[in-house]
Structure 1
Amino acid sequence: MMDVYEAIRRRYSCRNYEDRPLEQEKLVAILEAARQAPSAKNLQDWRFVVVTDKAARKKLAVAANDQTFIENAGAIIVACTVSEHVMRCGQAIGPIDVAIAIEHMCLQATELGLATCWIGSFYPDKVRTVVGIPEGIEIIELLALGYPADSFKEHRREPMESIVCFEKWRF
């Protein structure tokens, strides 16, 4: 079993998937990881539409700015929020809570030998039509999920001193 740090290090944005279905137990484990994510005020304001149907995945790929690589993923998860709550700091909770839940899914998928890719380039109205999401529900992100047809490559990261300072802003 992979430890958390190893899953964090090995997670990458996969852009080439095997056209292969996902096992139900793996999909359930990934969705359970999202369900366990923290949320502001414990509102658990995320909602996920899991799309495994090949024809629907093809339509979502078109709705995602013609990113055809996602249609081979075993599933495309449409991640939404049902909250319009704004925190005292001025940030909307929906996008933050959904992002936390998505990354929980990504890490669980990595541990299970699957790959993921966050998809932010999409047309919400087209996605809404494909999966029947009503008006008033905000679509935050799509997540491609499946067996990778490529392999993990080490990704460049900024050195710690360029992203972290202590006590006061020193950048």
Structure 2
Amino acid sequence: MSALELVKKRYSVRQYEERPVEEEKLQKILEAGRVAPSAKNNQPSRLIVVREKESLAKLKKGANVYGAPLAIIVAGDHQAAWVRPYDNKNSVDIDASIVADHIILAATELGLGTLWVCYFDPVVIRQEFNLPAHIEPINILGVGYAAGEAKSPDRHNEARKPLNEIVVWESY
């Protein structure tokens, strides 16, 4: 499958089968996150794997992963991230999002469904998972086998803006 076919195949899954994600597949998607690029290769991302019932119940207090049997809290270590010297922009959110995208695409290639969750209560997640002050929960990924039929990769074509509305050549 080409890269374009892969990204078009991926969709936000909001209903999962109860079966767990196999350990081999989990290790592959975690490895995809591990090798993701980061600013100055500082690798500030931290992955909290949530798959035990008790941990998923804790997660549910602050985030909805729609019954996914596995979740990955993608967090970032502010102390480890590169900081752009011109404006002191900390790259932790960018780096963590690249990791999340790598995980999602690897999961899709392996036949798993995913959901990128940014709508969550970071205070609850921080408390429930004992995150130190310098570790920020940035994204939460629901991962599992999608229940029901796969969504068509072309389902959003009419709602997607054409390239000429999002691409600017050479200067704004």
**What TM-score, normalized to structure 2?**
0.88
Question: After TM superposition, where is structure 1 displaced by more than 6 Å over at least 4 residues in a row?
Answer: none
Percent identity for Structure 1 against Structure 2: 40
> How far apart are the structure 2 equivalents of 1:55 and 1:113?
26
In structure 1, what is the equivalent of residue 6 of structure 2?
A: 7
Q: Which moved more, 1:21-30 or 1:5-14?
A: 5-14
> How far apart are the structure 1 equivalents of 2:90 and 2:39?
10
What is the number of equivalent residue pairs in this alignment? Answer: 164
User: How much does 1:72 deviate?
Assistant: 2.2
In structure 2, what is the equivalent of residue 37 of structure 1?
A: 36
Match of 1:135 among 126, 133, 136: 133
Q: What value does the CA root-mean-square deviation take over the aligned residues?
A: 1.5
SS of 1:121's partner is coil
In structure 2, what is the equivalent of residue 155 of structure 1?
A: 156
Query: Do residues 167 (structure 1) and 170 (structure 2) align?
Result: yes
- Contact kept in structure 2, 1:14 and 1:116, CA below 8 Å: yes
> How far apart are the structure 1 equivalents of 2:56 and 2:95?
25
**What TM-score, normalized to structure 1?**
0.89
SS of 1:106's partner is helix
Alignment of 1:105-144 (within 5 A): 105-144=103-142
Gaps of 5+ in 2: none
In structure 1, what is the equivalent of residue 100 of structure 2?
A: 102
User: How much does 1:56 deviate?
Assistant: 1.6
SS of 1:28's partner is helix
More helix by share: 1
